Structure 1
C-alpha cells in the first residue's frame, strides 16, 4: 500500500526516493540519496507531470494505479527530458497507449532520440493553456534551465508551479515531503550543491525565467527533486535569485592539493590567520579527498576563494586542476581569489593557477605565494600578510 499524498485539489505527489544510486549523472555524490518527483492531477482529464528514473518504474506505476484505478491517463506533461525524469515514459505509454505527450517543439526530438516515440505528440508553445476540467494549465517555456527544451507548467486553479529541475535539490525525502515538514538546513546545502553543479552555468537564463514568472501568483512550487514548497515558496525563489546573481556571503574557501603535506601546512596556517582576524566562516578542503561538488557549493556561497597547489609534473596538482576546469565552466562571477603553493625542482602549480585567474577574471587579492621544497619563515610571513588582507577586505565589505 503506497502513501497517497494529496498536495491540493486532487493533485497528488507520485514521486519516489532513490537511495541506491551513488552518483547523480554518474558523477555527483548522492550520500543522502535523491527524490524524483512526479505529480498526478486527478480531474475530468488526468494529467501526469514528468515521470521518474527507470530504476523506479514499477513502484511508480503502482502509485498511479492506486490513485486512478482503471481510468486512463489523458496527458503526460513533459517539462524536462533528462532521463531521471523521462525514464519511465515508455512504460507509462505502454500502460496508457492513448495518452497524449505534451511538450514544446524542442521536446519531441529528445523523445524520439531517447525512446523512439513518434506518436501521440501534443505540441504547446509559450503561454498556451490546457483545460483538464477544474484545473487549467498554462505553459511557460524556460529554455536552458538547464536543457534546451525545459519548460514549467502553472496550474491557474491551485496556483501551483510545476518547475521541473528548477528550485530542486539533492537529498531523498525522508518522510517530510513539504518545506514545513523538514529541517531546511540540510536541504539548503543540498539545494545549493545541486544549483552550483547542475544549473549554475545557466544563471543568466535563470534570471530571465524568474522575470518571466514574476507576475504569477505562486502559492506552491513543486519541483522534480527535493521538497515541495507549500508554506514559504518565496524562500526558494529568493535563493535562486541570489545564486543566479552570484551574490555571496562573508567567508573564505581554501582549497589545496598537496602530495607530502607542505602545501597543506600553508593552507592550515593561512586559515588560522584569517580566523584570528575575525572571519568565522572559513572552509578548508583537500581537493584530493573532498568531491569538488561540495567545494563548488561553498565557493558559490562565500566571497573569498584561496587556491593552493604543489607542482605536479610541471602542472597544477590533478585534483585541483579538475576543480579549476569545473569553475571555468560554471560561469561564476564576482569572487575574490588568492594563490599559494609549493614546488621542488620545477614550478607549475602556482603558475597554472595564475593562468586560471587570468582566464576567469576574478579580483586577485595579494601576491601569489610559492614555497620551494617546504615553506620557511619568509613564506609564512607572506601568508600572514595575505590572511590579514583577505580578512580586512571581507570585514570592510560585510561589516563585523
Structure 2
C-alpha cells in the first residue's frame, strides 16, 4: 500500500513535498502558509519523473519516489523548469538512478551544465516533439519567459493532463489535500493571485502567448509544480491566469501610504472616506511599513485604482514606499488608474518622485496631485476629496 505518495490514476503518482520551514520564497516573499514543491512520476513501459524538489526536502521526496516506483529503474527525468526549487534534487536522483536520462530543451541543457556541471545522459527535446514511454507519451511545448527562458510544459494525451511547471501554480502548502476538489478554493485563490502577481506577473505578455499556444489542447487536469492539482475544474485556473495576464481588473481602490508620524496616514483616511461617500465599496488601505509589498501587489493586481501616498524622507520617498514603487515598476502593471499624495516638513521630494513614477508607467494619472506641508490643512483636504471623487467618477463610468 502506498502511504506517502498519492496514486492519481492508473499510471501517475504524486511524489511532491511540502515546505513549511522556509520563511521567504526566493528569500523575498513571505510564506506564512508554506509552499509545495510538486513532482510527478509516470509508470508505464518506461518510467519518467517530472521535475524534482528543493534540495532541503530531498529526503521526503526520495522516500515518496522509492515507494511509488518500487523496484523499477527510473528511465527519464523530465526537467520543465530549472529554478533550483525544482531542479535542486537532480544530482541526488542521478546518484540513486545512474542510468536515468535527463530530458530538456536546448536552454535547459545549458542550465544543467551551468548549475550542476551535468553534461552526460541528456536528451534534447524540441518544441512539439514527444517522449515515448510505451502506452503513454509526453508532448512538449516551449513556453519561454513563463517565467524563465528554458520553461516548457508537457501534455499527456491519454489522460489529457498538462504538466505546467510554474504556470498555474500558487503559494500555500497542501495540508493533506492535493486536488482542487479537496481544498478551500477561497484561500488558494488569494495565494495563487499573490504568487502570480509577484512571481509571474512581469511576464504577462509571455503568459498570454503561452495560453494561445496551448489553447488547442483538450486539458482535463493541470499539474503545476506549486499549489493544488486542478482535476475537477482545470478551466478555472486557466481562466484566472488569462484574467491576470490580460490585466482584467475589478472596481476598487487600493490606498498605500508611508507615514512616520501619522500625517500622511490622515490624508489616506480622508481619501478613503470620500471614496466611500462616492459609492465605492472595495477600498483597502495599507501601511507599507506593516504589510509586505507582495500582499499589496496582489491586491493592486485585482483592483482598478491605486493611490500612493508618502511622507518625504531625506528629500525622497519614504524608503518602504520606495520598495513598493520599485516592485510596481518591475512588474509593469497596465490598465490602472493612479493617484498621488503626500507630505513634507522643510523640503519636498516624495510626491515629485511618486508623480514621476506614475507618469513613466502605463498608468492613467488622476489629478489633483496633493502635497501638504507638515499637516493637511483645509485646502489640502478639499484637494484630497477632489482626487477621491475624480477616481470614483472614473470607476463608476466603467460600470
Structure 1 residue 386 displacement after superposition: 1.6
Contact 2:47 2:74 survives alignment (8 Å): yes
In structure 1, C-alpha distance between the alignment counterparts of 2:349 and 2:376, rounded to whole Å: 16
Structure 1 residue 2 displacement after superposition: 3.5
1:157 equivalent in alignment to 2:172: no
Q: Hey, what does 2:359 align to over in structure 1?
A: 358
- Alignment of structure 1 residues 326-337 onto 2, 5 Å: 326-337=327-338
- What are the superposed Cα offsets for residues 203-232 of structure 1, whole Å, 9 maximum, x if unpaired? 111011001100001000000000000011
In structure 2, C-alpha distance between the alignment counterparts of 1:68 and 1:289, rounded to whole Å: 47
1:300 equivalent in alignment to 2:313: no
Q: Hey, what does 2:249 align to over in structure 1?
A: 248
User: What secondary structure sits across from 1:179 in the alignment?
Assistant: coil
- What are the superposed Cα offsets for residues 163-187 of structure 1, whole Å, 9 maximum, x if unpaired? 0000000000111211111111111
In structure 2, C-alpha distance between the alignment counterparts of 1:208 and 1:7, rounded to whole Å: 30
Contact 2:316 2:353 survives alignment (8 Å): yes
User: What secondary structure sits across from 1:297 in the alignment?
Assistant: helix
User: What secondary structure sits across from 2:254 in the alignment?
Assistant: strand
Q: Hey, what does 1:20 align to over in structure 2?
A: 21
User: What secondary structure sits across from 1:158 in the alignment?
Assistant: coil
Q: Hey, what does 1:213 align to over in structure 2?
A: 214
Structure 1 residue 336 displacement after superposition: 0.3
**What stretches of structure 1 move > 3 A for 4+ residues in a row?**
none
**Number of residues paired by the alignment?**
398
Contact 1:179 1:232 survives alignment (8 Å): yes
- Alignment of structure 1 residues 373-388 onto 2, 5 Å: 373-388=374-389
Q: Hey, what does 1:174 align to over in structure 2?
A: 175
User: What secondary structure sits across from 1:80 in the alignment?
Assistant: coil
In structure 1, C-alpha distance between the alignment counterparts of 2:346 and 2:54, rounded to whole Å: 51
Contact 1:308 1:340 survives alignment (8 Å): yes
Structure 1 residue 9 displacement after superposition: 2.7
Q: TM-score under structure 1 normalisation?
A: 0.98
In structure 2, C-alpha distance between the alignment counterparts of 1:148 and 1:306, rounded to whole Å: 34
Contact 1:102 1:123 survives alignment (8 Å): yes
Q: Hey, what does 2:145 align to over in structure 1?
A: 144
- Alignment of structure 1 residues 316-331 onto 2, 5 Å: 316-331=317-332
Contact 1:220 1:228 survives alignment (8 Å): yes
Contact 1:145 1:205 survives alignment (8 Å): yes
Contact 2:345 2:374 survives alignment (8 Å): yes
User: What secondary structure sits across from 2:106 in the alignment?
Assistant: coil
Structure 1 residue 6 displacement after superposition: 1.5
Structure 1 residue 3 displacement after superposition: 2.7
User: What secondary structure sits across from 1:59 in the alignment?
Assistant: helix
Segments of structure 1 that go 5 or more residues without pairing to the other structure are: none
Structure 1 residue 358 displacement after superposition: 1.5
Contact 1:9 1:158 survives alignment (8 Å): no
In structure 2, C-alpha distance between the alignment counterparts of 1:112 and 1:344, rounded to whole Å: 55
Structure 1 residue 157 displacement after superposition: 1.1
- Alignment of structure 1 residues 196-235 onto 2, 5 Å: 196-235=197-236
Structure 1 residue 381 displacement after superposition: 1.2
- What are the superposed Cα offsets for residues 297-337 of structure 1, whole Å, 9 maximum, x if unpaired? 11110000100001110001111111111111112111000
